[in-house]
Amino acid sequence: MYKKIIKDKNITKNLFRGNTLKMDIDEVRNICRNIAKEYGYELDVVVEENEKIRSTLGRVKFEMENGRYCPKKIEFSKELLRGDRDLILDIIKHEMAHFLVLKETGENHKHDNVWKSYALKLGCRPKATVKVDSRDTSKEKYKYIARCKKCGKVVAKYKRLSKVIKKPSNYRSKCCNEKISVGIYDII
């Protein structure tokens, strides 16, 4: 499964701009079906969009049957399908590599060398994660901001009231180990 690693907002901030779908789930199913067929398999699992998954862009669900792991469902995040078409294709191939490994071996190889060989055959990056910033930071609305009293560094932002906001005197910054001040958030 591909997990999102949110590190540098500037590297990939355009990947998920806008709400228009770059690929619908029917097109994703067709691509999955074609890949399975190319390797001599029927796509005998449900391929669906899952708007609830947030920590991964795609995943293959499987169950143990007669001592073998069998794929049961391939899910893709709704967020992914709004993204860059090349990224979507890479994630589809990534998940299909899991599907094919499960079909061929009956074992869960996660992201080991067996899985990597399938990923390379399919033409996707043989990595477990992809760096993506899926958050549209322009839409994030914070109500409160906490700053270090010594250096002024922003140490936290909050959307709602919390213990830190109510009693900032009980907390210290990590940067200078100094008390923090809390104020109403304003765009920096």
The enclosing domain of 80 has a CATH number of 3.30.2010.10
Same domain as 96, residue 19 = yes
| Contact predicate 50/78, CB 8 Å | yes
Give the rounded percent of residues in the chain with a pLDDT score beyond 70: 82
Give Cα 10 distance to the centre of its chain. 17
Same domain as 146, residue 65 = no
Give the confidence band of 6 by pLDDT, cuts at 50, 70, 90.
very low
Question: Structure tokens of 97?
Answer: 């590599």
Q: Domain range holding 174?
A: 141-184
For 71-96, the pLDDT digits (tens) are 999 999 988 888 888 899 999 999 99
Alpha carbon distances (Å) from 38 to 2, 89, 109, 134: 23, 16, 21, 32
Note the pLDDT of residue 131: 72
For the chain, what is the domain count?
Answer: 2
For 115-155, the pLDDT digits (tens) are 999 999 999 999 988 776 544 444 457 888 899 999 989 89
Same domain as 55, residue 112 = yes
Same domain as 152, residue 86 = no
| Contact predicate 158/142, CB 8 Å | yes
Domain-embedded: residue 136: no
Q: Which comes out higher in pLDDT, residue 98 or 134?
A: 98
Same domain as 71, residue 152 = no
Q: Which of 131, 153, 172 represents a domain boundary (last residue)? A: 131
Note the pLDDT of residue 141: 74
Same domain as 119, residue 174 = no
Same domain as 67, residue 34 = yes
Tally of CB atoms within 10 A around 9: 10
Give the confidence band of 176 by pLDDT, cuts at 50, 70, 90.
very high
| Contact predicate 117/145, CB 8 Å | no
